[in-house]
Amino acid sequence: MESKNISVGLDIGTTKIVAMVGRKNEYDKLEILGIGRSKSLGVHRGVVNNITQTIQSIQQAVQDAETESGAKIEEVTVGIAGQHIRSLQHSDYITRENSELVIDEDDIDRLVNQVHKLVMLPGEEIIHVLPQDFKVDGQAEVKEPIGMYGGRLEANFHVVVGQVSSIRNIGRCVKSAGLELEGITLEPLASANAVLSQEEKEAGVALIDIGGGTTDLAIFRDGIIRHTAVIPFGGNVITEDIKEGCSIIEKQAELLKIKFGSAWPGENKDNEIVSIPGLRGREPKEITLKNLSKIIHARVVEIVEQVYVEIKNYGHEERKKKLIAGIVLTGGGSQLKHLKQLVEYITGMDTRVGYPNEHLAGDSDDEVTSPLYATAVGLVMDGLRRQEKKCLEKVQEGTHKFGDCDEENEELESAQTKKERKSFLDKLTERVKDFLDNAE
């Protein structure tokens, strides 16, 4: 199979590593050609802590994906998350030399590059600079300043910061697994693209992605991302608690959680009991489902409350910032029974579980549409978007003809007039690539 129109997302998580191969079908929907997944052993709370094991897990997942899709995988789009990600609000301005000319892309680039010079803590690097709204000569709430006249251009920015070493380690693993880095994306953004509709992003929505090691939060309002946060625990701490609380081994705790676990203890009768085989000839253990749910409940409440603090930090309680579409839960942890009810009870916000079928082709496999794969689907979409963008740039340079992109010509022609700004992640990807090339 030709590999020029496919894109591969690589989700390096704490519990699993997923390689997903996809392409656009003729209806502009995403068709998943193959998935490979392997147990992730070298990642803790979203951060690589054992390079060798992570490389092996990546190779395993990629191999499985190649076998299933019949495509050769060379380039991947990788997600970054982990407990080192934090975000802050910042406003900045530039004074334009010639206010006779209208504001253009270059002015915005200048302003954004200025934000990139902010001094961070040692070892931290700015990953994303996302403009929220602009002011032109003191006129507030300008959504799109391009084409306006003005001498002073200011903007509020949402700045996402992460640890350089963690990002480079991920790049290192990908490279050592024999793959090229096509792009780097913030995982909460990838998941959001896969499960949220445009209406929800406009109305205001909080996406909570409950992974194995971390819980990611992304808040949208008026179609723009407003707040991101990574909370350093996820489904694994629930399993840990069950293991400790019931004195059983991890594998059993994980199975108990998935099969019988519930976030709402009131659901279980006192006489519902699960018997677990003892280790090596010991007596079997009897565990009441009520106790199991109490353990899960305590931990889930803690996670949800931390996320709610972040939602309040964004300002959800202010009238203008209210999140009308409420909360969307995704990730493997969102499959816990009665979690939706618990989240609604704690936050008082409408909640639904998000499946990554927003952009998938209609005949997709049930497995692919599981919340487990939200990030992977988002990464594949991101990879395809990058490819289209690269192709556009070539068209603009004149090295490609329209037809070479296999895209709708009108789309290309309209895009040709508006050259997209290089996103910060593209710049970051280039920096990580350069670093890896020079570090060999």
Which residue in the block uniquely carries the two structure tokens 């803590």? 121
**pLDDT of 396:** 76
Average pLDDT of the chain?
89
Whether pLDDT at 423 is above 70: no
How many Å apart are CA 405 and CA 409, to the nearest integer?
9
DSSP at 123: T
pLDDT tens digits, one per residue of 15-39: 999 999 999 988 888 999 999 999 9
Whether pLDDT at 52 is above 90: yes
More confident residue, 126 or 195: 195
Is residue 321 within 8 Å of 156, Cβ to Cβ?
Answer: no
- pLDDT class of 440 with cuts at 50, 70, 90: low
Considering the domain delimited by 197-354, tell me its CATH architecture: 2-Layer Sandwich (3.30)
Whether pLDDT at 322 is above 90: yes
Q: Name the packing angle between helices 289-314 and 235-246 (round to 10°).
A: 150
**pLDDT of 4:** 62
Q: What mean pLDDT is predicted for residues 395-399? A: 74
Which residue in the block uniquely carries the two structure tokens 């209806």? 27
Query: Closest Cα partner for 323 from 307, 338, 339?
Result: 307
Instruction: Give the distance between the most distant pair of CA atoms in the chain.
Output: 86
The token duo for 277 is 């085989």
More confident residue, 285 or 439: 285
For 1-83+162-196+358-440, the fitting CATH number among 1.20.1440.230, 3.20.20.10, 3.30.420.40, 3.40.1080.10 is 3.30.420.40
Task: For residue 339, give every residue at least 6 positions away whose Cβ sits within 8 Å of its Cβ, in sequence order, or none.
Answer: 263, 300, 329, 333, 353
How many Å apart are CA 18 and CA 10, to the nearest integer?
6
3-state helix, strand, coil in the chain (%, to 5): 40, 25, 30
Whether pLDDT at 419 is above 60: no
Query: Closest Cα partner for 308 from 370, 354, 351, 265?
Result: 351
Domain residue spans in the chain? 1-83+162-196+358-440, 197-354
pLDDT tens digits, one per residue of 167-200: 999 999 999 999 999 988 889 989 999 999 999 9
Beta-bridged to residue 229, according to DSSP, are 217
pLDDT tens digits, one per residue of 237-267: 999 999 999 999 999 999 999 999 999 988 7
The answer to whether 1-83+162-196+358-440 and 197-354 have equal CATH topology is yes
Query: Closest Cα partner for 253 from 276, 232, 234?
Result: 276
Whether pLDDT at 293 is above 70: yes
**pLDDT of 403:** 58
Task: For residue 250, give every residue at least 6 positions away whose Cβ sits within 8 Å of its Cβ, in sequence order, or none.
Answer: 239, 240, 243
